Amino acid sequence: MKKILITGGAGFIGSHVVRLFVNKYPDYQVVNLDKLTYAGNLANLKDIENKSNYTFVKGDIVDAAFISDLFATHKFDAVIHLAAESHVDRSISNPLEFVMTNVIGTVNLLNAAKANWTAAPNNRFYHVSTDEVYGTLGETGMFTETTAYDPHSPYSASKASSDHFVRAYHDTYGMDVVISNCSNNYGSYHFPEKLIPLSIYNIKNNKSIPIYGKGENVRDWLFVEDHARAIDVIFHNAKTGTTYNIGGHNEWTNIDLIRLLCKIMDKKLNRAQGESAKLITFVKDRAGHDLRYAIDSTKLQKELGWTPSLQFEEGLEKTVEWYLQNEEWLNNVTSGDYKKYYEQQYTKR
Protein backbone atom coordinates (compact mmCIF):
# COMPACT_ATOMS: atom_id res chain seq x y z
CA MET A 1 0.00 0.00 0.00
CA LYS A 2 1.25 3.47 -0.90
CA LYS A 3 0.72 6.44 1.38
CA ILE A 4 0.94 9.59 -0.71
CA LEU A 5 1.14 13.19 0.47
CA ILE A 6 -0.41 15.59 -2.02
CA THR A 7 0.32 19.20 -1.11
CA GLY A 8 -2.02 21.96 -2.24
CA GLY A 9 -4.73 19.39 -2.78
CA ALA A 10 -7.61 21.77 -2.06
CA GLY A 11 -6.54 24.12 -4.84
CA PHE A 12 -7.46 24.15 -8.49
CA ILE A 13 -5.07 21.60 -10.02
CA GLY A 14 -4.45 19.83 -6.71
CA SER A 15 -8.10 18.98 -6.16
CA HIS A 16 -8.29 17.29 -9.55
CA VAL A 17 -5.14 15.27 -8.78
CA VAL A 18 -6.46 14.25 -5.34
CA ARG A 19 -9.81 13.18 -6.79
CA LEU A 20 -8.13 11.15 -9.53
CA PHE A 21 -5.81 9.31 -7.13
CA VAL A 22 -8.47 8.66 -4.48
CA ASN A 23 -10.92 7.24 -7.02
CA LYS A 24 -8.47 5.41 -9.27
CA TYR A 25 -6.28 3.86 -6.56
CA PRO A 26 -8.47 2.65 -3.68
CA ASP A 27 -5.48 0.80 -2.19
CA TYR A 28 -3.54 4.06 -1.83
CA GLN A 29 -3.92 6.25 1.25
CA VAL A 30 -4.02 9.85 0.05
CA VAL A 31 -3.28 12.65 2.52
CA ASN A 32 -4.22 16.10 1.26
CA LEU A 33 -2.19 18.89 2.91
CA ASP A 34 -3.43 22.41 2.28
CA LYS A 35 -3.10 25.73 4.11
CA LEU A 36 -6.57 26.77 2.88
CA THR A 37 -5.58 30.23 1.72
CA TYR A 38 -8.00 32.22 -0.42
CA ALA A 39 -7.43 29.77 -3.30
CA GLY A 40 -7.80 26.56 -1.28
CA ASN A 41 -11.35 25.32 -0.91
CA LEU A 42 -12.52 22.02 0.58
CA ALA A 43 -15.77 22.43 -1.34
CA ASN A 44 -13.69 21.38 -4.35
CA LEU A 45 -13.54 17.87 -2.87
CA LYS A 46 -16.96 17.32 -1.31
CA ASP A 47 -17.58 14.33 -3.57
CA ILE A 48 -14.68 12.37 -2.04
CA GLU A 49 -14.40 13.80 1.49
CA ASN A 50 -15.88 10.65 3.06
CA LYS A 51 -13.79 8.13 1.12
CA SER A 52 -11.95 5.71 3.42
CA ASN A 53 -8.62 6.22 1.62
CA TYR A 54 -8.69 10.04 1.88
CA THR A 55 -7.49 12.28 4.71
CA PHE A 56 -7.29 16.06 4.86
CA VAL A 57 -4.72 17.89 6.98
CA LYS A 58 -4.63 21.65 7.32
CA GLY A 59 -1.12 23.04 7.55
CA ASP A 60 1.56 25.29 6.09
CA ILE A 61 4.58 23.88 4.27
CA VAL A 62 6.59 26.90 5.47
CA ASP A 63 6.40 25.49 9.02
CA ALA A 64 9.40 23.13 9.03
CA ALA A 65 8.63 21.59 12.44
CA PHE A 66 5.05 20.84 11.40
CA ILE A 67 6.21 19.21 8.15
CA SER A 68 8.79 17.12 10.00
CA ASP A 69 6.15 15.90 12.47
CA LEU A 70 3.71 15.17 9.65
CA PHE A 71 6.22 12.91 7.89
CA ALA A 72 7.14 11.17 11.14
CA THR A 73 3.48 10.50 11.89
CA HIS A 74 2.28 9.32 8.49
CA LYS A 75 5.38 7.62 7.05
CA PHE A 76 4.68 8.77 3.51
CA ASP A 77 5.91 6.66 0.63
CA ALA A 78 5.73 9.52 -1.87
CA VAL A 79 4.99 13.21 -2.30
CA ILE A 80 3.19 14.98 -5.13
CA HIS A 81 3.97 18.63 -4.48
CA LEU A 82 1.54 21.18 -5.90
CA ALA A 83 1.26 23.68 -3.03
CA ALA A 84 2.33 27.09 -4.30
CA GLU A 85 1.52 30.75 -4.53
CA SER A 86 0.75 31.04 -8.21
CA HIS A 87 -0.66 34.40 -9.25
CA VAL A 88 1.82 36.65 -11.05
CA ASP A 89 0.10 39.91 -10.04
CA ARG A 90 0.26 38.94 -6.38
CA SER A 91 3.95 38.06 -6.72
CA ILE A 92 4.69 41.53 -8.06
CA SER A 93 3.05 43.17 -5.03
CA ASN A 94 4.39 40.69 -2.45
CA PRO A 95 7.39 38.69 -3.72
CA LEU A 96 8.53 37.53 -0.27
CA GLU A 97 5.34 35.53 0.24
CA PHE A 98 6.19 33.61 -2.93
CA VAL A 99 9.76 33.00 -1.79
CA MET A 100 8.53 31.60 1.51
CA THR A 101 5.92 29.22 0.13
CA ASN A 102 7.44 28.23 -3.19
CA VAL A 103 11.10 28.04 -2.19
CA ILE A 104 11.33 27.57 1.60
CA GLY A 105 8.20 25.40 1.67
CA THR A 106 9.61 23.12 -1.04
CA VAL A 107 12.94 22.80 0.77
CA ASN A 108 11.11 21.93 4.00
CA LEU A 109 9.34 19.09 2.21
CA LEU A 110 12.58 17.89 0.64
CA ASN A 111 14.32 17.90 4.02
CA ALA A 112 11.51 15.94 5.66
CA ALA A 113 11.51 13.43 2.82
CA LYS A 114 15.29 13.04 3.00
CA ALA A 115 15.17 12.46 6.75
CA ASN A 116 12.47 9.79 6.48
CA TRP A 117 13.47 8.03 3.27
CA THR A 118 17.13 7.30 4.00
CA ALA A 119 16.73 3.52 3.98
CA ALA A 120 13.64 3.26 1.77
CA PRO A 121 14.17 2.16 -1.87
CA ASN A 122 10.75 2.96 -3.35
CA ASN A 123 10.00 6.57 -2.53
CA ARG A 124 9.34 9.42 -4.95
CA PHE A 125 9.20 13.22 -4.73
CA TYR A 126 7.18 14.64 -7.63
CA HIS A 127 7.44 18.40 -8.02
CA VAL A 128 4.81 20.13 -10.16
CA SER A 129 6.09 23.31 -11.79
CA THR A 130 5.24 25.77 -14.55
CA ASP A 131 6.33 26.73 -18.06
CA GLU A 132 6.87 30.28 -16.81
CA VAL A 133 10.32 29.29 -15.52
CA TYR A 134 11.49 29.28 -19.15
CA GLY A 135 10.77 32.97 -19.69
CA THR A 136 9.27 34.12 -22.97
CA LEU A 137 9.24 33.02 -26.62
CA GLY A 138 9.16 34.93 -29.87
CA GLU A 139 6.62 34.24 -32.57
CA THR A 140 8.03 30.77 -33.22
CA GLY A 141 9.55 27.91 -31.25
CA MET A 142 8.42 25.96 -28.20
CA PHE A 143 9.72 25.22 -24.72
CA THR A 144 11.37 21.81 -24.37
CA GLU A 145 12.78 20.05 -21.35
CA THR A 146 16.24 21.40 -22.24
CA THR A 147 15.22 25.05 -22.62
CA ALA A 148 17.35 27.28 -20.39
CA TYR A 149 15.57 28.89 -17.43
CA ASP A 150 14.89 32.62 -17.78
CA PRO A 151 12.17 33.66 -15.30
CA HIS A 152 10.86 37.21 -15.50
CA SER A 153 8.43 37.58 -12.58
CA PRO A 154 8.85 36.97 -8.84
CA TYR A 155 6.42 34.06 -9.22
CA SER A 156 8.38 32.35 -12.00
CA ALA A 157 11.68 33.09 -10.24
CA SER A 158 10.41 31.36 -7.09
CA LYS A 159 9.25 28.33 -9.08
CA ALA A 160 12.56 28.16 -10.95
CA SER A 161 14.40 28.20 -7.63
CA SER A 162 12.27 25.38 -6.26
CA ASP A 163 12.90 23.32 -9.42
CA HIS A 164 16.64 23.74 -8.92
CA PHE A 165 16.40 22.63 -5.29
CA VAL A 166 14.50 19.48 -6.27
CA ARG A 167 17.15 18.59 -8.85
CA ALA A 168 19.91 19.38 -6.35
CA TYR A 169 18.44 16.90 -3.84
CA HIS A 170 18.48 14.25 -6.56
CA ASP A 171 22.08 15.01 -7.53
CA THR A 172 23.40 15.52 -4.00
CA TYR A 173 21.45 13.00 -1.94
CA GLY A 174 20.26 10.52 -4.55
CA MET A 175 16.59 11.28 -3.86
CA ASP A 176 14.12 9.85 -6.39
CA VAL A 177 12.60 12.98 -7.93
CA VAL A 178 10.63 13.87 -11.05
CA ILE A 179 9.53 17.31 -12.24
CA SER A 180 6.87 18.43 -14.67
CA ASN A 181 6.41 21.89 -16.15
CA CYS A 182 2.93 22.60 -17.42
CA SER A 183 1.28 25.27 -19.54
CA ASN A 184 -1.73 27.35 -18.43
CA ASN A 185 -4.51 25.20 -16.99
CA TYR A 186 -8.24 25.76 -17.31
CA GLY A 187 -11.33 23.90 -16.16
CA SER A 188 -13.61 23.46 -13.15
CA TYR A 189 -12.82 24.69 -9.62
CA HIS A 190 -10.43 27.39 -10.89
CA PHE A 191 -10.26 30.33 -8.50
CA PRO A 192 -11.58 33.39 -10.35
CA GLU A 193 -8.53 35.61 -10.25
CA LYS A 194 -7.16 33.92 -13.37
CA LEU A 195 -8.18 34.98 -16.87
CA ILE A 196 -10.81 32.40 -17.85
CA PRO A 197 -12.82 32.04 -14.60
CA LEU A 198 -12.56 35.79 -13.92
CA SER A 199 -13.94 36.53 -17.38
CA ILE A 200 -16.77 34.01 -16.99
CA TYR A 201 -17.71 35.58 -13.66
CA ASN A 202 -17.57 39.12 -15.07
CA ILE A 203 -19.54 38.31 -18.20
CA LYS A 204 -22.22 36.62 -16.13
CA ASN A 205 -22.47 39.72 -13.93
CA ASN A 206 -22.08 42.30 -16.72
CA LYS A 207 -18.76 43.57 -15.37
CA SER A 208 -15.82 44.68 -17.47
CA ILE A 209 -13.37 42.04 -18.69
CA PRO A 210 -9.84 43.38 -18.07
CA ILE A 211 -7.31 42.53 -20.80
CA TYR A 212 -3.65 43.47 -20.36
CA GLY A 213 -2.13 45.65 -23.08
CA LYS A 214 -3.57 44.83 -26.49
CA GLY A 215 -4.35 41.22 -25.63
CA GLU A 216 -1.59 39.95 -27.90
CA ASN A 217 0.13 37.74 -25.31
CA VAL A 218 -0.02 34.05 -26.29
CA ARG A 219 -0.58 31.13 -23.94
CA ASP A 220 -0.80 27.37 -24.46
CA TRP A 221 -3.92 26.08 -22.68
CA LEU A 222 -4.16 22.68 -20.97
CA PHE A 223 -7.41 21.16 -19.70
CA VAL A 224 -6.91 20.50 -15.99
CA GLU A 225 -8.24 16.94 -16.09
CA ASP A 226 -5.70 16.14 -18.82
CA HIS A 227 -3.01 17.61 -16.57
CA ALA A 228 -4.10 15.36 -13.70
CA ARG A 229 -3.88 12.33 -16.01
CA ALA A 230 -0.39 13.38 -17.05
CA ILE A 231 0.68 13.66 -13.40
CA ASP A 232 -0.64 10.16 -12.79
CA VAL A 233 1.35 8.76 -15.74
CA ILE A 234 4.56 10.59 -14.81
CA PHE A 235 4.31 9.69 -11.13
CA HIS A 236 4.02 5.99 -11.87
CA ASN A 237 6.24 5.61 -14.94
CA ALA A 238 8.93 8.31 -15.19
CA LYS A 239 12.55 7.46 -14.57
CA THR A 240 14.10 9.13 -11.56
CA GLY A 241 15.64 12.53 -12.17
CA THR A 242 13.62 13.19 -15.32
CA THR A 243 11.58 16.24 -16.34
CA TYR A 244 8.52 16.30 -18.56
CA ASN A 245 6.74 19.24 -20.16
CA ILE A 246 2.94 19.03 -20.23
CA GLY A 247 1.10 21.15 -22.79
CA GLY A 248 -2.25 21.18 -24.51
CA HIS A 249 -1.07 22.25 -27.97
CA ASN A 250 -3.65 25.04 -27.83
CA GLU A 251 -2.00 28.42 -28.45
CA TRP A 252 -4.31 31.41 -28.22
CA THR A 253 -3.78 35.13 -27.89
CA ASN A 254 -5.59 36.49 -24.85
CA ILE A 255 -7.90 38.63 -26.96
CA ASP A 256 -8.87 35.77 -29.30
CA LEU A 257 -9.51 33.54 -26.31
CA ILE A 258 -11.78 36.12 -24.69
CA ARG A 259 -13.67 36.75 -27.91
CA LEU A 260 -14.33 33.01 -28.18
CA LEU A 261 -15.38 32.92 -24.54
CA CYS A 262 -17.77 35.83 -25.14
CA LYS A 263 -19.40 33.96 -28.03
CA ILE A 264 -19.87 30.86 -25.88
CA MET A 265 -21.27 32.91 -22.99
CA ASP A 266 -23.69 34.78 -25.28
CA LYS A 267 -24.99 31.42 -26.47
CA LYS A 268 -25.28 29.93 -22.98
CA LEU A 269 -26.90 33.06 -21.49
CA ASN A 270 -29.25 33.57 -24.45
CA ARG A 271 -27.74 36.95 -25.21
CA ALA A 272 -27.39 38.51 -28.64
CA GLN A 273 -24.09 37.58 -30.24
CA GLY A 274 -21.60 40.35 -29.58
CA GLU A 275 -23.23 41.51 -26.35
CA SER A 276 -20.61 40.09 -23.98
CA ALA A 277 -17.72 41.33 -26.14
CA LYS A 278 -18.78 44.89 -25.29
CA LEU A 279 -17.46 44.24 -21.77
CA ILE A 280 -13.86 43.85 -22.98
CA THR A 281 -11.67 46.57 -21.43
CA PHE A 282 -7.98 47.00 -22.19
CA VAL A 283 -5.90 47.93 -19.13
CA LYS A 284 -2.26 48.87 -18.54
CA ASP A 285 0.00 45.94 -19.26
CA ARG A 286 1.47 43.88 -16.46
CA ALA A 287 5.11 44.57 -15.56
CA GLY A 288 7.45 42.02 -17.17
CA HIS A 289 4.57 40.41 -19.06
CA ASP A 290 5.97 37.49 -21.11
CA LEU A 291 4.83 37.63 -24.73
CA ARG A 292 4.36 33.97 -25.54
CA TYR A 293 4.50 30.52 -23.93
CA ALA A 294 4.25 27.28 -25.87
CA ILE A 295 5.02 23.79 -24.57
CA ASP A 296 6.44 20.92 -26.61
CA SER A 297 5.16 17.78 -24.87
CA THR A 298 6.58 15.38 -27.46
CA LYS A 299 8.81 13.68 -24.89
CA LEU A 300 5.84 12.89 -22.63
CA GLN A 301 3.78 11.61 -25.53
CA LYS A 302 6.53 9.42 -27.01
CA GLU A 303 8.01 8.03 -23.80
CA LEU A 304 4.92 7.63 -21.60
CA GLY A 305 2.03 7.67 -24.07
CA TRP A 306 0.10 10.65 -22.71
CA THR A 307 -1.91 12.86 -25.05
CA PRO A 308 -4.42 15.67 -24.35
CA SER A 309 -8.03 14.54 -24.70
CA LEU A 310 -9.75 17.80 -25.67
CA GLN A 311 -9.30 20.59 -28.17
CA PHE A 312 -9.53 24.02 -26.58
CA GLU A 313 -12.92 24.99 -28.01
CA GLU A 314 -14.50 21.82 -26.62
CA GLY A 315 -12.79 22.18 -23.25
CA LEU A 316 -13.70 25.85 -22.93
CA GLU A 317 -17.39 25.16 -23.58
CA LYS A 318 -17.29 22.35 -21.01
CA THR A 319 -15.68 24.76 -18.53
CA VAL A 320 -18.31 27.45 -19.11
CA GLU A 321 -21.08 24.92 -18.57
CA TRP A 322 -19.53 23.86 -15.26
CA TYR A 323 -19.34 27.42 -13.91
CA LEU A 324 -22.91 28.20 -14.96
CA GLN A 325 -24.14 25.00 -13.31
CA ASN A 326 -22.22 25.68 -10.10
CA GLU A 327 -23.29 29.21 -9.25
CA GLU A 328 -23.23 28.57 -5.51
CA TRP A 329 -19.55 27.57 -5.62
CA LEU A 330 -18.70 30.60 -7.75
CA ASN A 331 -20.65 33.01 -5.53
CA ASN A 332 -19.01 31.64 -2.40
CA VAL A 333 -15.45 32.04 -3.67
CA THR A 334 -16.11 35.50 -5.06
CA SER A 335 -17.05 36.89 -1.66
CA GLY A 336 -14.95 37.99 1.30
CA ASP A 337 -11.22 38.42 0.81
CA TYR A 338 -11.33 37.75 -2.90
CA LYS A 339 -13.97 40.43 -3.43
CA LYS A 340 -11.70 42.97 -1.75
CA TYR A 341 -8.76 41.86 -3.87
CA TYR A 342 -10.81 41.99 -7.05
CA GLU A 343 -12.03 45.48 -6.31
CA GLN A 344 -8.49 46.70 -5.63
CA GLN A 345 -6.85 45.06 -8.62
CA TYR A 346 -9.39 45.40 -11.39
CA THR A 347 -12.13 47.95 -10.87
CA LYS A 348 -9.79 50.90 -10.32
CA ARG A 349 -7.78 50.56 -13.54
- How buried is residue 193: exposed, middle or buried, by Cβ count under 10 Å (0-12/13-18/19+)? buried
What b-and-e string marks burial along 77-95, b requiring 16 or more CB atoms within 10 Å of the CB? bbbbbbbbbbbbbbbeeeb
Which pTM value belongs to this model? 0.92
Note the pLDDT of residue 120: 60
Note the pLDDT of residue 40: 86
Note the pLDDT of residue 342: 45
Note the pLDDT of residue 119: 62
Helices and strands of the chain, counted as H and E runs:
13, 12
Cβ atoms 59, 84 nearer than 8 A? no
Cβ atoms 293, 136 nearer than 8 A? yes
Q: Is 131 an annotated catalytic residue? A: yes
Which segments of the chain belong to CATH 3.90.25.10?
195-218+252-288+312-345
Give the helix/strand (H/E) hosting 238: none
**Annotated catalytic residue within 34, 131, 163, 225:** 131
Q: Give the span between the Cα atoms of 6 and 84, in whole angstroms.
A: 12
Q: Is 186 an annotated catalytic residue? A: no
Cβ atoms 21, 4 nearer than 8 A? yes
Note the pLDDT of residue 336: 58
The third-level CATH classification (topology) of the domain covering 3-186+220-246 is: Rossmann fold (3.40.50)
Q: Is 132 an annotated catalytic residue? A: yes
Q: Under CATH, to which class is 195-218+252-288+312-345 assigned? A: alpha beta
**Annotated catalytic residue within 34, 60, 132, 163:** 132
Q: Give the span between the Cα atoms of 288 and 312, in whole angstroms.
A: 26
Note the pLDDT of residue 291: 86
Note the pLDDT of residue 347: 42
Which segments of the chain belong to CATH 3.40.50.720?
3-186+220-246
Note the pLDDT of residue 345: 46
pLDDT tens digits in sequence order for the chain, 349 residues long: 699 999 999 999 999 999 999 999 999 999 999 998 888 889 899 999 999 999 999 999 999 999 999 999 999 999 999 999 988 888 999 999 999 999 999 999 999 999 999 766 689 999 999 999 999 988 888 999 999 999 999 999 999 999 999 999 999 999 999 999 999 999 999 988 788 999 999 999 999 999 999 999 999 999 999 999 999 999 999 999 999 999 988 899 999 999 999 999 999 999 999 999 999 999 988 887 888 989 999 999 999 999 999 889 999 999 999 999 998 888 888 775 554 544 454 443 3
Q: Give the span between the Cα atoms of 114 and 68, in whole angstroms.
A: 10
Note the pLDDT of residue 228: 98
Q: Looking at 99-207, list the stretches that DSSP marks H as alpha helix, in order from N- to C-terminal side.
A: 105-116, 154-173, 195-204
SS3 (DSSP) at 123: coil
**Annotated catalytic residue within 134, 155, 169, 189:** 155
Cβ atoms 179, 243 nearer than 8 A? yes
Query: Other CB atoms closer than 10 Å to residue 135's CB: what's the count?
Result: 19
Note the pLDDT of residue 344: 52
